[in-house]
Amino acid sequence: MMKQVRSFIVGGLTAAAVSASLCLGGCSSTAGVETSGRASWDEQGARSLEKNVVFNGLKGDIQIVDVRSSMAGDIMRAQATMRSKDKDTLPLQYRFDWYDAGGVEINAGAGSWKPLILYGRETKVVQGVAPDPRAKEFKLKIREPD
């Protein structure tokens, strides 16, 4: 099956929203959408978040409204707001993967898929907490259940 991939990149915390539509359907072994964030600091010590949303050609309608992260001490927390653009219920699964400053995955494969139900036109927020202080980047993966 040929997959279409679209990327949208928004830099910095000043971005009000990351928005695009997602089509849901197809193989559940591949994430239908991947949302990522990478924390960085400028010369004045101000924190910013580079955001990236990658869509794989699937069937349906979801909008990623916002992607944020914060630090709780030295642990990264991530949050994404998504909205169903469909009038039907969308059963989904999501998982956060965490990466160090060099882009190496922390605890590869340890994260479990969590159930997520989006009812017609509903908006939901999902959150994740890094497993340790090495995490400087995250990916939120969303897919249909097996």
* Average of per-residue pLDDT across 91-101: 92
- pLDDT of 128 reads 95
> Can you spell out the DSSP letters for 76-117?
EEEEEEEEE-SSS-EEEEEEEEEE-TTSPEETTT-PPPEEEE
Predicted confidence at residue 146, as pLDDT, reads 79
Where is pLDDT greater, at 145 or 57? 145
DSSP secondary structure string, 106-128?
ETTT-PPPEEEEE-TT-EEEEEE
Average pLDDT rounded to a whole number, residues 86-115? 90
Which candidate, 135, 120, 145, 127, places its Cα nearest to that of 61? 120
CATH architecture of 5-143: Sandwich (2.60)
